[in-house]
Amino acid sequence: MTIHSLDYTLGEAERIGAAIGAVLRPGDIIALSGDLGAGKTTLARAMLKARGLAGEAPSPTFAIVQPYAPPEIDMPIAHVDLYRIEDVGELIELGLDDYLYDGALLIEWPERLGDGGWPGMLDLVISGSGDARVLTASVPPAWEARWPL
């Protein structure tokens, strides 16, 4: 596991998200942590755009799981926001594992998974506010060779 940290502005968020999105593969899980308004959805949107999604992806805060599939995007990706999840039973109903056979998961508020995360997740934490955000990535072995930043 290697830790990478970088500062970025809103203007750079698109490029950063796109770089990560471009190397995404089926079976991948990206955890996006940080306070409300940290910039999690902004990065997820840039990843989805890099995979071909036209228009701005909605925040999945209310849908909880927003799945995308070809042809609107070039591989299946489910954009997930677990903010409203209150207990582990609700998580089971979401069936998130099923997306991993041929797709990837982008998960905001992964803290709600409790101990039930997945090994090999790419953990992205956003901190800071205003125009100065910091992205801290814990890059697991499965991502080491393709980490783009």
Q: Which is nearer to ligand ADP, 108 or 123 (CB)?
A: 108
Q: Rule CB under 6 A: is residue 37 a binding residue for ligand ADP?
A: yes
CB atoms within 10 A of CB 78: 22
Q: Which amino acid is present at 145?
A: A
Distance CA(48)–CA(45), nearest Å, equals 5
Q: From ligand ADP, Mg ion, none, which one binds at residue 131 (CB under 5 to 8 Å depending on kind)?
A: ligand ADP
Distance CA(123)–CA(139), nearest Å, equals 7
Q: Residue from 28, 31, 40, 78 that binds Mg ion (CB under 5 A)?
A: 40
Give the total of residues touching Mg ion (CB under 5 A).
4
Interaction mask 98-117, ligand ADP, x per CB under 6 A: ----------x---------
Distance CA(36)–CA(143), nearest Å, equals 26
User: Which of 123, 116, 140, 149 minimizes the C-alpha distance to 33?
Assistant: 123
Q: Rule CB under 6 A: is residue 40 a binding residue for ligand ADP?
A: yes
Q: Which is nearer to Mg ion, 109 or 143 (CB)?
A: 109
Q: Is the peptide bond before 76 cis (omega within 30 degrees of 0)?
A: no
**H or E element: which one contains 52?**
none
Stretch that binds ligand ADP, among 18-26, 35-43, 49-57, 70-78 (CB under 6 A): 35-43
Residues that bind ligand ADP (CB under 6 A): 8-10, 13, 34, 36-42, 108, 131, 133
